[in-house]
Chain A
Amino acid sequence: QKEVEQDPGPLSVPEGAIVSLNCTYSNSAFQYFMWYRQYSRKGPELLMYTYSSGNKEDGRFTAQVDKSSKYISLFIRDSQPSDSATYLCAMSEGAQKLVFGQGTRLTINP
């Protein structure tokens, strides 16, 4: 079993929809949770960085962490075609080593 599980998709939604992306994990020592967006043939770009449980909002993006369920989510409101990318969750215990999900490929259709 992988430490971090992420549905690879692909996920296709119409423009303007609310998108929900999720990851589950098995290591209860994870404390730091990140979401990265990766466009084709580019490096991942940090979207959200959260510590422990709770919600964090930044513009159209909301990250949620539920440590009791070992489940994290990223919500995208008013989705745009420019949001079409692969979204990677990542998490760590606090040391350098990040553990990544395999990424979810998202397409927003105009």
Chain B
Amino acid sequence: DGGITQSPKYLFRKEGQNVTLSCEQNLNHDAMYWYRQDPGQGLRLIYYSQIVNDFQKGDIAEGYSVSREKKESFPLTVTSAQKNPTAFYLCASSISAANQPQHFGDGTRLSIL
């Protein structure tokens, strides 16, 4: 079954702690994305990557970091610098750079303890 797998489904963060959200895809897609979804605000782009070992900041990158060491994997770290991390985080991928629709995983819900 081809798809995008996000883990864990639920995650809790303590004050001052960094946490990493996993995103793996077996669709052989080149591009991968991280979005944050808050109630009433739609999806906002955090980071995206067009190819391995390359990534760009989105609209709300502050307090987040990413890596893209493998084509299949695009983990997101929510650092302690992100003061309001409670949200639903969605990972997406697309076949290539421009003009291709993005397909999403089922998300990770992050909450503060």
Q: Which residues of A contact B (CB under 8 A)?
A: 4, 6, 8, 32, 34, 36, 41-46, 49, 51, 88, 90, 94-98, 100-103
Residue B106 contacts which of A42, A97, A102, A103 (CB distance < 8 angstroms)? Answer: A42
A-B contact pairs, 23 of them (CB 8 A): A4-B42, A32-B99, A34-B101, A41-B106, A41-B107, A41-B109, A43-B90, A43-B92, A43-B104, A43-B106, A44-B104, A45-B104, A46-B101, A88-B43, A90-B43, A96-B31, A96-B33, A96-B98, A97-B45, A101-B42, A102-B40, A102-B41, A103-B42
Number of A-B contacts (CB under 8 A): 56
Q: Chain A's nearest CB lies how many Å from the CB of B87?
A: 13
Contacts of B74 in A (CB 8 A): none
A97 touches B104 (CB 8 A): no
Residue A98 contacts which of B6, B45, B50, B109 (CB distance < 8 angstroms)? Answer: B45
Check A94/B98 contact, CB under 8 A, given A41-B107, A42-B106, A45-B104: yes
Distance in angstroms between the alpha carbons of A8 and B40 in the assembled complex: 7
Contacts of B4 in A (CB 8 A): 43
B104 touches A100 (CB 8 A): no
> At the interface, yes or no: B64 with Cβ under 8 Å from chain A?
no
